[in-house]
């Protein structure tokens, strides 16, 4: 693997071998294109890291807001229940107590228990195991930022 220091494009230029790229009109044209591509690549990485940091900061702020909202929601719901208010009028509408029911996610034990009501224990166990071992897997590739111990705001990052 080649080693490129994103903060210093000249490292990539040292690894560059113009003689291997003979399909261009001249090696200086190829070098200029390579330099432009390297700078563009470097700019993309820096922009990516800035955006990633902004997202992280925003998510942190959002987490604090959601915690406070949940706390207030609990207080408001308790007040409404104690005082038997089905709803509270507010400037842009009303606050209402809402109750929803949803199904729990499927799990191995629940499936096995349901299958045991229709099949013997061995058959139910085999069917359950088959369901979980034969499930298709999905592969997804993402870019992940791993922060160094010394600096969490570094934009001069080394790529391998």
**pTM score:** 0.56
Higher-pLDDT residue of 110 and 150 is 110
The rounded radius of gyration (Å) of the Cα atoms in the chain is: 29
Task: State the residue range of the domain holding 53.
Answer: 4-159
Higher-pLDDT residue of 28 and 115 is 115
pLDDT digits (tens, 9 = 90+) for 69-78: 999 999 999 9
Please say if the pLDDT value at position 150 is more than 80. Answer: no
* Number of structural domains the chain divides into: 1
């Amino acid at each position: 693997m080649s080693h490129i220091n994103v903060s210093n494009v000249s490292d990539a230029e040292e690894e560059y071998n113009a003689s291997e790229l003979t399909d261009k009109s001249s090696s200086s044209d190829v070098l200029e294109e390579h330099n432009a591509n390297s700078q563009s690549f470097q700019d993309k990485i820096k922009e990516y890291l800035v955006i990633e940091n902004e997202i992280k900061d925003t998510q942190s702020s959002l987490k604090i807001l959601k915690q406070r909202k949940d706390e207030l929601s609990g207080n408001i719901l308790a007040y409404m229940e104690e005082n038997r208010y089905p709803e509270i009028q507010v400037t842009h509408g009303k606050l209402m107590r809402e109750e929803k029911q949803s199904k729990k996610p499927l799990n191995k034990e629940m499936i096995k228990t349901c299958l045991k009501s229709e099949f013997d224990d061995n058959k139910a166990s085999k069917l359950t195991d088959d369901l979980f071992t034969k499930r298709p897997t999905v592969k997804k590739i993402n870019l992940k930022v791993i922060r160094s111990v010394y600096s969490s705001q570094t934009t001069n990052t080394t790529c391998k």
